[in-house]
Amino acid sequence: MRYVMVIDTLKCVGCSDCVVACQTENDVPTGYCRDWVTESVTGTYPEVDIELRSERCNHCDNAPCVRTCPTEASHIIEGGIVLVDRDLCIGCGACIESCPYDARYRHPDLGIVDKCTFCVHRVKKGQDPACVSVCPTNCMYFGDLDDSNSKVAQLLAERKHKVLAKEAGTSPNVYYLI
């Protein structure tokens, strides 16, 4: 079992519905977010290319946050989801410093480090993460890459794709169709 998220940058319109859905579903503190939308513009007018990406924790196979955590609070569960154990986290910030995606923050009220969980509480019930389920353009997909019949496996087999900061050596599990 290997959970991955596949995001079609050609279908994303940057509406930020995924961000709001996540904030509501996960009781994210006001002003904070576990996912966000990046607009990446390359080239100069008139040769301009725009890419819209919904970004979040990449649930890396080789997660630097898990490696640098001194208390084993950051850990990887079955399926490859990276989680923070709130009872073990002391809020030292080592994982925040180690994340190439700046996907973690210190919870302003709890002091612990918080981030995207791939909505593990929904996934366990067989549902999609909140961001995926609300996307109005259906540009986000979630599933098991080890299952060759899954939509994510088929998309990655058929379409050209990339991951972010590949050179960081983190083996991320959020893929972008380009």
Partner 1 sequence: MKEEIFISGRNIPHIDPHLAIWEFPISLYLFLGGLSAGILLFSAFTHLLNKDEELKGASKWAPLIVPFALAIGLFALIIDLGNPFYSWKLYTTIRLESPMSWGAWVLLIVTPLSILWIFSDLRKLFPKLNYTKLPFLFKVEDFCVKYKKQMALALIPLTIILGIYTGILLSAFNARPLWNNAILGPLFLVSGLSTAAATIILFAKSAHERHLFSKIDVLLIVIELGLIIHLIMGYYAGNEMQVEAVKILVGGDLTTLFFGFFVALGLLLPLVLEVFELMGFKVPVVVPAILIIVSGLIFRVLMVEAGQITRILY
Is the Cβ of residue 56 or residue 122 nearer to partner 1 in the bound state?
56
The answer to whether residue 76 forms part of the interface with partner 1 (CB under 8 A) is: no
Part of the chain binding partner 1 (CB under 8 A), chosen from 84-92, 121-129, 131-139, 150-158: 84-92
Assign 42 to helix, strand or coil: strand
The answer to whether residue 115 forms part of the interface with partner 1 (CB under 8 A) is: no
CA distance 154 to 147: 9
Contact 136, 17 (CB under 8 A): yes
Contact 73, 85 (CB under 8 A): yes
Is the Cβ of residue 48 or residue 157 nearer to partner 1 in the bound state?
48
Part of the chain binding partner 1 (CB under 8 A), chosen from 38-46, 75-83, 124-132, 149-157: 38-46
Alpha helices for 86-147 (secondary structure H): 94-98, 120-123, 130-134
- Calculate ∠ Cα 121-65-107, nearest 5°: 60
Neighbours of 155 (CB within 10 A): 18
Is the Cβ of residue 78 or residue 87 nearer to partner 1 in the bound state?
87
Is the Cβ of residue 58 or residue 142 nearer to partner 1 in the bound state?
58
CB of 13 to partner 1, least distance (A): 11
The answer to whether residue 32 forms part of the interface with partner 1 (CB under 8 A) is: yes
Kindly give the pairing relationship between strand 161-162 and strand 174-177.
Answer: antiparallel
Kindly list the residues in this chain that would bind partner 1 in the complex (CB under 8 A): 14, 16, 19, 31-33, 36-44, 52, 64, 67-73, 88-94, 96-100, 102, 105-108, 110-113, 164-165, 167-169
